[in-house]
Amino acid sequence: MTASHYSTPSQWIVLALFWALSMSSAQAAATQDTRAHVDEIVSANPERVVWRKTPIAIPLVVGEERLVHFPDSVSIGLPQSLTPLLRSQSINGTLYLLAGQPFESTRVMVRSENGGPLFVLDISAALDGDERPPLPDVQVVLESSKAEVDGVVSDTDTSNPFSQWGYVALTRFAAQQLYAPERLIPNTPGVVAIPVKDAPVDLLRGGSVEAVPVAAWKAGSRYVTAVRLTNRTAKAVILDPRELRGAWLAATFQHNRLLPSGGDADTSAVYLISDRPFDVALW
């Protein structure tokens, strides 16, 4: 056998360097992909507005539905002039607004159904002239709960170790638990895993999507449950929060579209936040 059949020490060193560099690049890419996957779920954070008794401007784009979330269940009183121009629905503390035609800013009253404040909105609608991302949801919060929703502990809330866990923080936590490698999951004192039955539940109306709870956690008085969603049909399904059964404080879909059953993208997840355990909030 000739000398050309043997690798010299320098050749082995070069090969080892190539192997180390490729492993390092793959690990960095996997970490970046995981973080991007988790951040994608909460990238469309709602626009937070603190209610201070001044009208809240809600601009709409014709043909694009916009959601406005309130601290409690509400009812909306539309002026007669807006009735043919604006479709509105109130479900579990969320207003779903869809303008059919442009209109100037019009004042609308929104009443809390459980003794809360009377909110005042200035709603307007315009045609969409430029390419842009969809308008974010609007989260209306009371001054007393602003620190909790923002996920920040204020000076007056330091006695409550759970007040830092707002909706966004809880959703991000659940997504990290499901998708991030263990080494990237931060220490999270105050959040406890709680048992949940991993059997199909009737979460979405229509029967085209199978829903199975996979994990749940509790932080203070809030619960967050991760539910796996799988398309049962041969057609793509658009996930609509209005089709959810149950009483939820917030619901975040990992993706809002499921491809036909049998494909790689026929499964996604929804993260549900409630003030009661999942099985109680569902029914």
User: Among all chains, which residue has been given the structure tokens 């992909």?
Assistant: 33
Q: Backbone phi, then psi, for 76, in 5-degree steps?
A: -110, 140
Residue 100: pLDDT above 80?
yes
For the beta carbon of residue 252, count every other beta carbon within 10 angstroms. 23
What is the per-residue pLDDT for 173?
86
Tens digits of per-residue pLDDT, 214-248? Answer: 999 988 888 999 999 999 999 999 988 888 999 88
Q: Report d(CA 69, CA 136) in Å as an integer.
A: 11
User: Among all chains, which residue has been given the structure tokens 């100037």?
Assistant: 104
Tens digits of per-residue pLDDT, 185-196? Answer: 666 667 888 999
CA distances to 57, 58, 159, 181 from 106, rounded to whole Å, are 10, 10, 42, 49
Residue 2: pLDDT above 50?
no
**Does residue 255 contact residue 268 with C-beta atoms inside 8 Å?**
yes
Which of helix, strand or coil describes residue 268?
strand
Q: Which of 19-23, 132-136, 247-251 has the lowest mean pLDDT?
A: 19-23
**Does residue 121 contact residue 111 with C-beta atoms inside 8 Å?**
no
Q: Report d(CA 250, CA 194) in Å as an integer.
A: 19
CA distances to 27, 121, 127, 138, 165 from 38, rounded to whole Å, are 17, 33, 33, 22, 17
Q: Backbone phi, then psi, for 114, in 5-degree steps?
A: -125, 40
Q: Where are the domains of the chain?
A: 47-150, 167-282
Q: Report d(CA 6, CA 275) in Å as an integer.
A: 69
Architecture field, domain 47-150:
Sandwich (2.60)
Tens digits of per-residue pLDDT, 139-166? Answer: 898 876 554 444 443 433 444 444 456 7
Q: Which amino acid appears at position 126 of this protein?
A: A
pLDDT over 70 percentage in the chain:
71
User: Among all chains, which residue has been given the structure tokens 């793959």?
Assistant: 26
Q: Report d(CA 249, CA 272) in Å as an integer.
A: 8
DSSP labels for 127-193?
---S--PPPPPEEEEEGGGHHHHHT---GGGTT-TTTT--HHHHHHHHHHHHHS-GGGPPP-TTEEE
Q: Which amino acid appears at position 181 of this protein?
A: P
For the chain, give the longest Cα–Cα distance: 96
Helix H or strand E segment including 90: strand 86-91
Residue 5: pLDDT above 60?
no
Whole-structure pTM value: 0.49
Nearest Cα to 146, choosing from 163, 159, 158? 163
Query: How big is the chain, counted in residues?
Result: 283
- Mean pLDDT rounded to a whole number for the chain: 78
| Torsion angle, alpha carbons of 166, 167, 171, 173, to 10 | 0
